[in-house]
Structure 1
Amino acid sequence: MRVLVAIASTYGATAEIGEAVAAELRQGGHDVDVRRVDSVESLQGYDGVVLGSAVYIGRVLTSARQFAARLAEEFAPRPVWVFASGMKSVTAYPLGAAFTSPVPPPYFGARYAIFGGVVDRSKLGSAERSLIGFVGATHSDERDFDLIAAWSGEVSVRMNQFDALDRARSAQGTR
């Protein structure tokens, strides 16, 4: 499958997760492009999308929500997988079927995997440092790249299943 990994990331930690997801998908035999959500001009030619966003104060980034709306309009019913990264509400078991299956529109309204994120106070402005203090986050990198690779591997398997099903339907239609 040709897959787009579309990322909304402010300081780059979620983008690094997106690169890790892409690497695992490539190992699964997929042709993968990684792009920031605001740089995606066209969705044509993609068979699947993985959408990732940072989470701040319990909300995904506006650019990710806007891209999700675009996906719902331009890409559905093709499969979309979603992940987020943040410091709170990390998914206890993201390898469960609900978290490795495609997500229906509006994408961020359904269950999706939330991985641990990064808080680097040195990159934050004073308002952001105040908010981080308010929610009790400390300077840390909570990303679990082994877990992210396992999740991405499960997503890759699901993508291969969709691809096989799509090929079977196409073959039946040409008979």
Structure 2
Amino acid sequence: MKVHNVEMVMSAVRPEQYPDDGFPEFALAGRSNVGKSSFINKMLARKNIARTSSKPGKTQTLNFYKIEEQLFFVDVPGYGYARVSKTEKEKWGGMIEQYLTGREPLVAAIQIVDIRHVPSADDINMYNFFVHYNIPAIVIATKADKIPKGKWEKHKKIVRESLNMLGDDPLFVFSSEKGIGVEAVWAEIESRM
């Protein structure tokens, strides 16, 4: 998909604030600091529509990005960040769970993991959550430019096995730096619309 028109239409914390356009939605989930904002910026061909920050845990709302009047990316708060109070984490957790389990236009979750590391317990819990609620998942192993191309398959295997991925859930190698995987991920998204 060639992205010309994109706008961040709203930040929401409750269902009554969600957009009612009815376009398919793709939720973006990932550990804080995994490169979710960089992924969004690369996919949308924008420098900083999603704010990247050296301080993880900045996204505290559900951020709806309308793309080409056809679909939404919904950026959800990153998980696994320690410097947020337990109460705050529980509040985010409830908000995220309510969105993921009750949102009619949600087509799939895009889970972002770091290809260089074995998925964390939080990554595994998030993937299991998608499986439990029958939410199709697209897994993106980002930061692929940081390891030699010859090792991608080995690292993909580690991700697949660690998450215990379902056979039909796709796994893509991605790099925001080099643009690796952008077209393949768009093709996957478009095939689900």
For residue 55 of structure 1, the aligned residue among 108, 111, 115 is 115
Cα distance 1:61–1:17, how it changes in 2: closer, same or farther (>3 A)?
A: farther
What is the aligned-residue identity percentage?
8
What is the RMSD of the two structures over their aligned residues, measured on CA atoms?
3.4
Map 1:100-115 onto structure 2 (within 5 A). Answer: 106-107=164-165, 112-115=171-174
Q: Tell me how many residue pairs correspond in the alignment.
A: 118
- For residues 125-170 of structure 1, what are the alpha-carbon distances to aligned partners after superposition, in whole Å with 9 as ceiling and x for unaligned? xxxxxxxxxxxxxxxxxx322x34312321222112xxxxxxxxxx
Aligned partners of 1:6 and 1:49 also within 8 Å: yes
Letter in 2 for 1:158: S
How far is 1:8 from its partner? Answer: 2.0
What is the rounded CA distance, in whole Å, between the counterparts of 1:60 and 1:153 in structure 2?
Answer: 23
Q: What code does the residue aligned with 2:187 have?
A: E
The letter for the 2-side match of 1:155 is E
- Label 1:153 to 1:54 Cα distance change in 2 as closer, same or farther (>3 A): same
2:110 and 2:138 in contact (8 A); partners too: yes
Aligned partners of 2:29 and 2:191: how far apart in 1? 18
Q: Structure 2, unaligned stretches of length 5 or more?
A: 1-23, 46-65, 80-91, 154-162
1:2, distance to aligned residue in structure 2 (A): 1.7
Q: Determine the C-alpha separation between the residues in 2 that align with 1:90 and 1:26.
A: 30
- Structure with more helix by fraction: 1
Q: 1:52 to 1:32 in 2, by over 3 A?
A: same
Higher-Rg structure is 1
Q: Secondary structure at the match of 1:90?
A: helix
For the 8 Å contact 1:9–1:54, the answer to whether it is kept is no
Q: Which residue of 2 aligns with 1:79?
A: 136
Query: What residue is the counterpart of 2:160 in the other structure?
Result: none
Q: Which amino acid aligns with 1:107?
A: M
C-alpha deviation, 1:14, in angstroms? 4.3
- In the alignment, is the contact (CA less than 8 A) between 1:90 and 1:116 conserved in 2? no
- Taking the aligned partners of 1:49 and 1:154, their CA distance within structure 2 comes to 15
SS in 2 for 1:47: strand
Q: Which residue of 1 aligns with 2:183?
A: 150
Structure 1 residues 84 and 7, CA gap change in structure 2 (3 angstroms): same
